[in-house]
Amino acid sequence: MMAEGSKIRIAILGASGYTGAELVRILLTHPSAEIAVLTGNTQAGQSFYSVFPQFAYAKGLPTLTKHEEHDWKDVDCVFCCLPHATTQDIIKALPQHLKVIDLSADFRLKDVNTYAEWYGGEHRAPELQKEAVYGLVELHRDAIKGARLLANPGCYPTAAQLPLIPLVKAGLVLPEDIIIDAKSGATGAGRAPKQGTLFCEIADGIHAYGVASHRHAPEIEQGLSEACGRAVTLNFTPHLMPMSRGILETMYVRLAPGATVEGAKKVLEEQYAGEHFVTVLPGKEVPQTRHVRGSNHVFMNVFADRVAGRAIVICAIDNLCKGASGQAVQNMNVMFGLPEHTAIDFAPVFP
């Protein structure tokens, strides 16, 4: 689709947040892509390194502009890192030749009523919602290949669905009794200044937030409902951690009658046998967020519970990478027919 030797010209809308910076980090080394446009409406006119000094060494990054300034003729692919709700209108106004990868929540929920209920307002682009493809790559690769508008999954839903969908689909885990205790690094809360995410408020402690009311619950439920063919309601309890990157989800599940932990683990091993970015850990090795930090990798494992009939599923990802920008580039690679691991096949940074 791309002319031989030509590069995909990329625009990143809302590049002044952490997911924008992570996209730049990845795309700087992408052999088939070039960053053509970076927008950040409140910081328009500034160099990108003045907003993210880690890029002081990178020559040739475009200056931040307002998205209204562009006619998008010289752009092939847009990554949209804007807040939910504002995103719909902006994407609706983009020309059709663009492939769009949306990192907000605006096109993730297929049911616009569910969207309205959880995100506090009517969906203003329901026709685009129908077109959008949900981009959990390892499970929806074929649909992604033909997508024009891609809804990049949420960070928590990525770590929950990758292990749970195969288990629920195989009938080994009862969808009625799922508890997800999630722990996330503070990048998930964004870069806007808030008292609650100051260093001194986050360091050296942990607390739950959004108890029984976090917006990622319906996204996970949507995936599991599709997998088992009936409506799923589950417990999802996120916690804020004194670390920048990483999500760990400890999922407490009830096995179906006759199902075993070994059987559950085998289902995951078979599902992900050929997947470069998903590793079912050997033996009783526990997934640790620090072991996937800075990478697009997913580590998971299944453990027996002492309580008969129960199992514990644990999954670790980097919320900014596989949980956001890494998966977004993975989706781009699939959408443009490139090798899927291009530019995201770097190793975790540990320690």
The three-class DSSP label of residue 287 is coil
Give the residue with the Cβ less far from its own copies, 3 or 200: 200
The answer to whether 332 touches 11, Cβ cutoff 8 Å, is no
Distance of CA 219 to the CA centre of its chain: 12
Which CB atom, from 94 or from 241, has the smaller least distance to its own copies?
241
DSSP string, 311-344: EEEEEEE-TTIIIIIHHHHHHHHHHTT--TTTTT
Asked if 24 interacts with its own copies (CB under 8 A), we say yes
The candidate with the shortest Cα–Cα distance to 56, out of 82, 81, 28, 33, is 28
Return phi, psi of residue 300, to 5°: -145, 160
- Which of 313, 310, 330 shows the shortest CA–CA distance to 322? 330
Q: Which of residues 154-173 bind its own copies (CB under 8 A)?
A: none
Let me know if 155 is a catalytic residue: yes
In whole angstroms, the minimum distance from the beta carbon of 71 to its own copies comes to 29
Residue 74 vs 262, nearer CB to its own copies: 262
Q: Which is nearer to its own copies, 226 or 275 (CB)?
A: 275
Question: Would you tell me the crossing angle of helices 326-335 and 18-27 to the nearest 10 degrees?
Answer: 50
Q: Determine whether 39 is exposed, middle or buried from the number of CB atoms within 10 Å of its CB (0-12, 13-18, 19+).
A: buried
Q: For residues 303 and 298, what is the distance between their CA atoms, to the nearest angstrom?
A: 17
Instruction: Tell me which stretch binds its own copies (CB under 8 A): 31-39, 138-146, 159-167, 209-217.
Output: 209-217
Tell me the window of 6-14, 85-93, 103-111, 190-198 that interacts with its own copies (CB under 8 A).
Answer: 190-198
Compute the least distance from the CB of residue 296 to its own copies, in Å: 10
Q: Which of residues 211-230 bind its own copies (CB under 8 A)?
A: 211-213, 217
Among 63, 86, 114, 181, binds its own copies (CB under 8 A): 181
With binding defined as CB under 8 A, does residue 54 bind its own copies?
Answer: yes
Q: Which of residues 274-333 bind its own copies (CB under 8 A)?
A: 276-277, 279, 281-282, 284-295, 297, 299, 303-308, 310, 312, 314, 316, 320
- Interaction of residue 186 with its own copies, rule CB under 8 A: yes
Minimum distance of its own copies from residue 88's CB (angstroms) = 26
Number of residues that bind its own copies (CB under 8 A): 92
Q: Residues with Cβ < 8 Å from 119, sequence gap 6 or more?
A: 84, 85, 105, 106, 215
Q: Looking at 99, 216, 245, 322, which residue binds its own copies (CB under 8 A)?
A: 245
Q: Does residue 273 interact with its own copies by CB under 8 A? A: no
C-alpha closest to that of 241 among 304, 187, 287: 187
Q: Given the rule CB under 8 A, which of 79-87, 96-104, 126-134, 207-215 is the region that contacts its own copies?
A: 207-215
Q: Which one from 155, 228, 315, 321 is the annotated catalytic residue?
A: 155
CB of 97 to its own copies, least distance (A): 29
Q: Is the CB of 115 or the CB of 299 nearer to its own copies?
A: 299
For its own copies, give the closer residue by CB, 3 or 192. Answer: 192
Cα 270 to its chain centre, rounded Å, is 23
Q: Which residues contact 312 (CB under 8 A, 6 or more apart)?
A: 250, 251, 252, 253, 302, 303, 304, 305
Question: For the chain, how long is the longest CA-to-CA vector?
Answer: 63
Q: What amino acid positions are annotated as catalytic residues?
A: 155
